[in-house]
Chains A and B, each alone.
Chain A
């Protein structure tokens, strides 16, 4: 033990002398292991960590599927009456809660903030065990149909909007024409889980009764709404298959009765699927997690291979010292402890740093990916990450000890001294070197290839021409005077006239931004075929304003708003679908519409391909506008407010953004993928270059005399280059082969997961990856021997320098 401590101290001193070596080892390991720990912790939190709520294994998410006439799932959101029916008539859950997510403007606050609002039933606070900082949560007095106008604030809102004032209880806030008294503030420890939009944090909780679904919609059995969600606690003696069956019967039977008079819903049905709440949250993210773990694992392996190379070179460098120690009587264990001491110091240091790196990673994920990864808020350096780090540390130590045992043969050490004249030195065995090089090449090809595919895919999506313009166009959404009272036609129309008359404005259209669509069902009259397609309400200025070309027929006309029969416009894909070999124009839709025109389809930012869509005439009171300003002109929010106030005091701005803003939002995930994969490709190439250079340099260092001898005998520059590059052709081919096998196997096993990436371009990406890695290998082979080729051979033959 004393000896080991002595060796540790000695090793520390040595490492101080070899700063660049220590730095390279510690930083490479810290960065890559940090990323790996981060990815593993993320996967653990998402896949295995129990949800932080009481009886979390009983928490059940209920999905409401609308099954269409073709027995396909048409929608996965609740209709309002079905949700209420489930809430009131279920006989199975021990506790249930409903939640409706929306957003509105707090008109009572001077800053008119726009906030996320959750409308919940009182049980919601019990189910998620929301601790209160101040006041109380909702109770029986806020149960359904009590219409008690109170509100609970999130801790964040209390702090940000009300500066944490202590007298907040009793304070009144208003929005949508109603006033609510604040009765409580939730504690900051609470981890909110929003079922409708994981990651979204509500600023405000309002009793269910006040949700923004208008009375007229609350009784519509056919319209589903993704903001309606339901959660229940399922007793442990009922499994999910049973629960789904029973609930389907409960909801479907009632629904069939209710929609019996609508022919449209003949053959349609409701299917209820329950699943553990924890599973709901992983569904969409499994692929992401898989790729993340795979990517970081690959990087870590490359890094470890690199470090193994550096370490071997270093150990060989130490051989002489070790030999002398052995010669003066150091026992095997002493020699071993000398060899291991250095590795131990470096690895421990790297591991500690890697935890800092992963903590940094957690912060980045929380900051940027919270809205994509529902449980990102729970991410932190936890027991799991520490355990993972320790396991990695143990594995690495074992690996490095095994490695040094391979190189440092005690018996051979002594002979090194004796036979030093004979030119046989202790070396890393050629086989070990070959394995290291091959594994490094194989992983590099794979990582460059995998990232290349993701990059290629994301890049294509990002740069797909949208088929419409976004320049100088803003989307303006006007706040409705109150939830149940619509906008008046006259007010809206005169507001539009005033806006259009503004000198900076080039055009106004009464429509939502181009990327917003909703599902709408209709029946084609002649054939009686039913469709459920993406739809959008627009006015006659819409297509011209965004520059979407009409390819046949006519546009919609505002004057038809008062007519019995109105024109609709379909896009080319829907035209093809409805009339594969005939003319779609003139087809009757429901009782009231007729197809009058066909437009070219557009791509919604972030989507790979266009979809069938149709456009119909908006109501005269529609509160969504697109405003196009003249080039280099702007129209401020205040200017709009001034115009609005002149028209009617009722008018208020709900949101006003350039449509580029929505485009960027939609492209966020794609852009993140593009930049992350590009960064990963570059890091891979860098790591791989450094690693291969390191090992090949060591290799050529070992072969200095051999190369010198060859040159002395008459080998020319090109002979030597051919020699060193040629030697790496075999590892390259082997790496290629390993990859082909692994990729084929991967595609075979994960077919479903990878299907969308399999296309002919994959081959090109693979060839590119191969070319990139080959170039690196050849450059890394050439650079270390370059010095031998650029000066007289004698330098190479003499052992100095």
Chain B
């Protein structure tokens, strides 16, 4: 089975004026195609930090990081942007949709930044397909603030998927949602995984963590408990 992400001894140190925070100390982890991984742990243990390093939103202090076998440990910011665009779909707790853009344009955004230039027709096709997939094809010309929280998060998922990334990185997708909307989003993620999407999700809701097949527990920047993944098994 293809290995998509591989982290080796990743550490992250935040240096502020007075103190150093060791947010991550020596994390090794790999994720394979089609897996559904959850990362959980108490608040402040480093979950978001880990996920943003995996998503190339931030860089590790030390350690090595590979995506699909390529070393991405020390990319320039623009190289990182290209990898994010093509390989990674990121879903944020606060949705991060752009208010001025319609639902359609929000979803189309990654395609516009793609190194491969898509024709308008292709873009429309792919965006509509993704919106269909998240059940929002009837809302394409709405503005994000005209949607409910759950709908907004589904738009964000469509946007994360539109460039056919190798993996979806999801940080507390239900943090800003009520339980019903949260359940809907989780169902959608599960459905996507069934269709073959690789997912790595941060959550501290044990119910949702249980939906993942591989559960990683973090404590104080270390992996407390990681079941053997299929590859190592």
Contact = CB atoms under 8 A, between A and B. Distances in A.
A789 B85 CA distance: 16
B114 interface: yes
Contacts of A714: 81-82, 84-86, 110, 113-114, 163
B59 A792 contact: yes
A245 interface: no
A286 interface: no
B145 to A, nearest CB: 6
A706 B176 contact: no
Interface string B54-65: 010111000000
A715 interface: yes
Where chain A touches its partner, the secondary structure class is helix
A792 B58 CA distance: 5
B9 interface: no
Contact of A712 (B94, B96, B97): B96
B59 A719 contact: no
B214 interface: no
A46 to B, nearest CB: 52
A789 B76 CA distance: 11
A710 B90 CA distance: 11
A717 B145 contact: no
B109 interface: yes
B200 to A, nearest CB: 16
A716 B96 contact: no
A713 interface: yes
A423 B52 CA distance: 20
A711 interface: yes
A576 B79 CA distance: 73
A591 B46 CA distance: 110
Contact of A794 (B58, B81, B97, B98): B58
A463 B113 CA distance: 54
A418 to B, nearest CB: 13
Given A422-B176, A719-B113, A794-B52, A710 B57 contact: no
A424 B99 contact: yes
Interface in B120-160: 145, 149, 159
A705 B97 CA distance: 9
Contacts, number: 71
Interface string B24-63: 0000000000000000000000000000100101110000
Contact of B96 (A705, A715, A790, A794): A705
Interface in A772-801: 789-794, 797
Contact of B94 (A423, A706, A790, A792): A423
Contacts of B99: 424, 706
B149 to A, nearest CB: 7
Interface in B65-89: 77-78, 80-82, 84-86
Interface string A699-722: 000000110111111111101000
Contacts of A421: 94, 176
A797 B57 contact: yes
Interface residues of A, number: 25
Interface string B96-114: 1111100000000110011
Nearest to A793: B57
B113 A716 contact: yes
B159 to A, nearest CB: 7
Interface in A526-561: none
Contacts of A706: 98-100
Contact of B109 (A423, A713, A792): A713
Nearest to A708: B96
Contacts of B109: 710, 713
Given A792-B57, A797-B57, A713 B94 contact: no
Interface string A716-737: 1101000000000000000000
Nearest to B49: A794
B92 interface: yes
A713 B82 contact: no
Contacts of A717: 77-78, 81
A712 B57 contact: yes
Interface string A609-640: 00000000000000000000000000000000
Contacts of A797: 57, 92, 96
Contacts of B52: 794
A719 B84 CA distance: 15
Interface of B: 52, 55, 57-59, 77-78, 80-82, 84-86, 90, 92, 94-100, 109-110, 113-114, 145, 149, 159, 163, 176
Interface of A: 421-424, 430, 705-706, 708-717, 719, 789-794, 797
24 contacts: A422-B149, A423-B96, A706-B98, A706-B99, A710-B98, A712-B90, A712-B96, A713-B85, A713-B90, A713-B109, A713-B110, A714-B82, A714-B85, A715-B113, A716-B78, A716-B82, A717-B78, A792-B58, A792-B59, A793-B57, A793-B58, A794-B52, A797-B92, A797-B96
Given A709-B98, A710-B113, 12 more contacts: A421-B176, A422-B149, A424-B99, A424-B145, A706-B98, A709-B92, A712-B57, A713-B84, A714-B82, A714-B86, A715-B85, A715-B113
- A-B pairs, top 4 by smallest CB distance, nearest first, are A714-B85, A794-B58, A709-B96, A794-B57
